[in-house]
């Protein structure tokens, strides 16, 4: 991520409105591309369904199918995403770029095997037709590859290429979907096919970018498994983060406002659609974190740590730490204020926009939208603080804060079911508040003892952290080399 900040700083140094818009556009796609694509496609599909006068049941089933596929793919990749990012970072630092591409295909193979097996079993009993099942299965596999590719693409500075792949995917998906509906094909199958084609383009484009940037080699594909043993808190943080972010949606599917749409597909349209729109508010902080915190904070961060390696005096180290933490507090404060301001704007303007968009909003959905806008805004701030903990390699702190967030989301959402349905969004809102509080307490504790963590916590001798995942990786590499 520091590499992204360094490159974006050059983009933002250029003067002019169009240069700034270009830099913000690149930052948005780099940091939120696949998720933003999924949200935009879901919103576009709902609009297309309404314009095509699609029956409500078909519309709800289609949204359920795509939402299930998105969340399932995210859950499968959540455990590996931060670890492979760390592995890629270490390989680039060691200038061992030949190890990157094999690890991408190795991690992709593991996730596809595990995910497709489980999701395939679900689809068999889900009640989807054969054609729907095939399209959803392919779509799921594409999502796995896209999520994983984005963990590696953070190292690539080809912003234009990544942006074009994102834009092309959206345009093709909407054009294909609109064309098939206009030709009177079945709406569900048409739009599932359109989404599959859109993400398929993104898969091919992203893989080409990876092969263009990283050299091919015959190195072991499953070496990254050793990083899971070494950085298990990092892997668990990714998993807990996604559980905290999306578990409240799943709980709502089985609440008194949830409905059984078809077979094993459950949904809660009154809650899901407002949540989908409210989630867009998180993009403000996600992008601003990269643009503001990383671009302005990273030089101070790099200077402070370089003094330990370059024989800096105690006075210089103390002064650089003061400057670094001062910059950090300023950037975090202003980023949080921007998020809260944008959340207020979303809530204020949301009433007008929801009347314009043909999504069938009612007063209950407007209430959920306002509550979830605040909740996701607070979540975005908590996520930013957690990322800063990762910046300082406080993986234990990140694990604690994400675990608290996941547990609170589940517990508070379940408790909210005991109250009238108008309060259902407050469980996630309270969990996001606790997430921020836990992150701030840990960050304050850690930064006050920063010299201790830099100088005294590191092991004096190299430690062998090989465990069950390392053995699993060695086993898979031997099997692969045996087949070759």
The closest alpha carbon to 80, from 145, 140, 139, 31, belongs to 145
- Do 294 and 213 fall within a single domain? no
Q: Is 471 helix (H, G, I), strand (E, B) or coil?
A: helix
158 within domain boundaries: yes
Q: Is 463 helix (H, G, I), strand (E, B) or coil?
A: coil
- Do 70 and 194 fall within a single domain? yes
- Do 296 and 377 fall within a single domain? yes
Residue 84 region by backbone torsions, left for phi larger than 0, else alpha for psi between -120 and 50, else beta: alpha
Contact 45, 52 (CB under 8 A): no
Question: Which one of 230, 249, 270 terminates a domain?
Answer: 230
- Do 44 and 113 fall within a single domain? yes
- Do 209 and 328 fall within a single domain? no
Q: Which range marks the domain in which residue 413 is found?
A: 257-454
Residue 5, strand partner residues:
none
Domain count, the chain: 2
Which stretches of 290-421 are DSSP H helices? 295-309, 314-356, 363-391, 395-416
Per-residue pLDDT at 387: 85
468 within domain boundaries: no
The closest alpha carbon to 416, from 248, 241, 242, belongs to 248
| pTM for the predicted model, two decimal places | 0.84
Q: Is 259 helix (H, G, I), strand (E, B) or coil?
A: strand
- Do 206 and 287 fall within a single domain? no
- Tell me the longest C-alpha to C-alpha distance in the chain: 74
Say how many CA atoms lie within 13 Å of 348 toward its Cβ.
Answer: 6
- Do 326 and 222 fall within a single domain? no
459 within domain boundaries: no
482 within domain boundaries: no
CB atoms within 10 A of CB 130: 8
Question: Which one of 184, 214, 230 terminates a domain?
Answer: 230
Contact 22, 290 (CB under 8 A): no
In sequence order, which residues have a C-beta less than 8 Å from that of residue 383 and are 6 or more positions away?
A: 241, 282, 285, 286, 435
- Do 314 and 416 fall within a single domain? yes
CA dist 451 and 461 (Å) reads 19
322 within domain boundaries: yes
Q: How many residues in the chain? A: 484
480 within domain boundaries: no
In sequence order, which residues have a C-beta less than 8 Å from that of residue 214 and are 6 or more positions away?
A: 97, 98, 100, 101, 104, 152
- Do 65 and 192 fall within a single domain? yes
Per-residue pLDDT at 4: 47
Per-residue pLDDT at 113: 92
**Mean pLDDT in consecutive groups of 10 residues from the start of the chain, 484 residues:** 49 57 57 61 73 78 87 88 86 85 90 93 92 93 88 69 77 85 84 89 88 82 86 90 90 88 86 82 73 74 80 82 87 85 81 64 79 90 88 89 95 92 90 94 90 76 73 80 63
């Amino acid at each position: 991520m520091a590499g992204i900040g360094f490159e974006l700083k050059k983009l933002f140094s250029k003067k002019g409105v169009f240069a700034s818009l270009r830099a913000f556009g690149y930052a948005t796609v780099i940091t939120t591309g696949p998720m933003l694509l999924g949200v935009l496609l879901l919103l576009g599909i709902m609009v297309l369904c309404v314009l095509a006068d699609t029956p409500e049941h078909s519309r709800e089933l289609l949204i359920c199918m795509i939402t299930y596929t998105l969340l399932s793919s995210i859950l499968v990749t959540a455990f590996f995403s931060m670890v492979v990012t760390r592995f890629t970072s270490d390989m680039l630092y060691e200038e061992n770029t030949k190890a990157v591409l094999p690890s991408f295909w190795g991690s992709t193979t593991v996730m596809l095997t595990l995910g497709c097996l489980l999701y395939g079993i679900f689809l068999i009993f889900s009640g989807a037709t054969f054609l729907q099942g095939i399209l959803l299965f392919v779509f799921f596999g594409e999502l796995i590859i896209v999520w994983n590719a984005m963990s590696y693409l953070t190292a690539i500075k080809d912003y234009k290429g990544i942006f074009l792949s994102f834009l092309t995917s959206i345009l093709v998906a909407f054009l294909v979907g609109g064309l098939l509906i206009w030709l009177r094909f079945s709406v569900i199958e048409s739009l599932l096919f359109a989404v599959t084609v859109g993400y398929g383009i993104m898969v091919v484009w992203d893989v080409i970018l990876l092969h263009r940037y990283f050299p091919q080699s015959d190195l072991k594909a499953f070496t990254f498994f050793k990083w899971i043993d070494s950085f298990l808190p990092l892997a668990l943080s990714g998993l807990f983060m996604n559980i905290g972010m999306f578990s409240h949606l799943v709980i709502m599917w089985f609440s008194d406002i949830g409905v059984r749409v078809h077979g094993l597909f459950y949904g809660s349209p009154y809650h899901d659609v407002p949540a989908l729109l409210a989630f867009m508010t998180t993009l403000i902080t996600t992008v601003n974190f990269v643009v503001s915190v990383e671009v302005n904070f990273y030089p101070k961060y790099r200077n402070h740590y370089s003094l330990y390696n370059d024989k800096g005096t105690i006075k210089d180290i103390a002064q650089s730490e003061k400057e670094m933490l001062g910059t950090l507090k300023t950037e975090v404060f202003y980023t949080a204020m921007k998020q809260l301001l944008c959340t207020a704007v979303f809530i204020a303007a949301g009433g007008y926009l929801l009347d314009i968009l043909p999504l069938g909003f009612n007063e209950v959905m407007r209430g959920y939208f306002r509550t979830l806008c605040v909740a996701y805004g607070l979540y975005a701030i908590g996520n930013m603080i957690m990322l800063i903990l990762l910046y300082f390699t406080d993986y234990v702190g990140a694990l604690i804060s994400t675990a608290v967030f996941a547990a609170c989301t589940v517990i508070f959402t379940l408790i909210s079911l005991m109250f009238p349905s108008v309060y259902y969004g407050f469980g996630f809102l309270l969990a996001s508040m606790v997430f921020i509080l836990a992150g701030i307490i840990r960050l304050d504790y850690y930064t006050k003892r920063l010299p201790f963590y830099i100088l005294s916590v590191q092991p004096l001798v190299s430690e062998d952290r090989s465990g069950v995942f390392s053995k699993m990786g060695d086993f898979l590499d031997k099997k692969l080399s045996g087949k070759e």
